[in-house]
Amino acid sequence: MKTIVLKGCGTALATPFRDGKVDYAAYRKLVERQLAAGIHFLVPLGSTAETPCLEDDERCELLKIARELCPDRPIVAGVGTNSLAATLRNIRMLEPYGPDAYLVVVPYYNKPTQDGMYEYFKAVAASTAKGIVMYNVPGRTGSNLHAATAVRAARDIPNVIAVKEASGDLNQIQEIIRNAPEGFSVLSGNDDQTWPLMACGGDGVISVASNLAPGLVVEMVEAAQSEEMARARDLNARLMPLFRDCFVESNPIPLKAGLAALGLCTPDMRSPLTTATAATMEIMKNTLSRL
């Protein structure tokens, strides 16, 4: 049975740091800002959150805060690793904090086969009654979840409810949209492909840029949902410089620079990521000023 339906704009939340520690007060403000802007769902503990550099107690506290502030909109918590045992452990650890679904990345470094990916998602889904969102991001994992495998999982595994597609391959994404079962959501994992993905029948985005401009990204997505494609196109064009500049360095380095420019948190990162260069700080400041 499908647990929830994910549509619209979800924000891949950043994790603010100050003096090497998670800045929970700033995190609360980030979440509150998202909710005030009408965001449709939240995605803490993804790659944008620098999750590999978070301790277990920090992950739990971040999810606890998000759930406390957001009782009535879906929360999708990132749990994926390149080890089935570790992923299942993350689910057990986070389950008490009430996420509605889990974001599970294609296992990285191991380079599993398509059958290996399918069996992995099947095993993860069997461990929980919550929804599973498959996350395909070959640029980070080194492996591509083929359309046929994504559709197979969507059809066969009842609580596999969505895919976050960041392959950049619109042909592949359209194949999933055409063949996935009813109720399965196809979400963009790349901000600059949200509008074309939705024009092809996709369901929304898990966005980096909405950390910075949640209202505008929500407006674009809702225009596309309403089939106001000319308006969605114009908003996409307005946002495109932001979509581009969020990746002038590795995500979320420019994003943190942008949040700092808005006075929302420090630009601090955890190693091995480094704080944005002065050039990136200037780029983000200028881009945000022109929105």
Query: Sorting pLDDT into bands at 50, 70 and 90, what band is 98?
Result: very high
Burial class (CB in 10 A: 0-12, 13-18, 19+), 170: middle
pLDDT digits (tens, 9 = 90+) for 148-161: 999 999 999 999 99
Q: Quick check: is 164 catalytic?
A: yes
CB 2 within 8 A of CB 181: no
Between CA 93 and CA 149 the distance in angstroms is 28
Q: Quick check: is 135 catalytic?
A: yes
* pLDDT at site 2: 46
State the catalytic residue, choosing from 64, 135, 256, 285. Answer: 135
In the chain, what percentage of residues exceed pLDDT 90? 98
What would the CATH number be for the domain defined by 8-227? 3.20.20.70
pLDDT digits (tens, 9 = 90+) for 225-272: 999 999 999 999 999 999 999 999 999 999 999 999 999 999 999 999
Q: What is the mean pLDDT of the chain?
A: 98
pLDDT digits (tens, 9 = 90+) for 45-88: 999 999 999 999 999 999 999 999 999 999 999 999 999 999 99
State the catalytic residue, choosing from 130, 164, 256, 285. Answer: 164
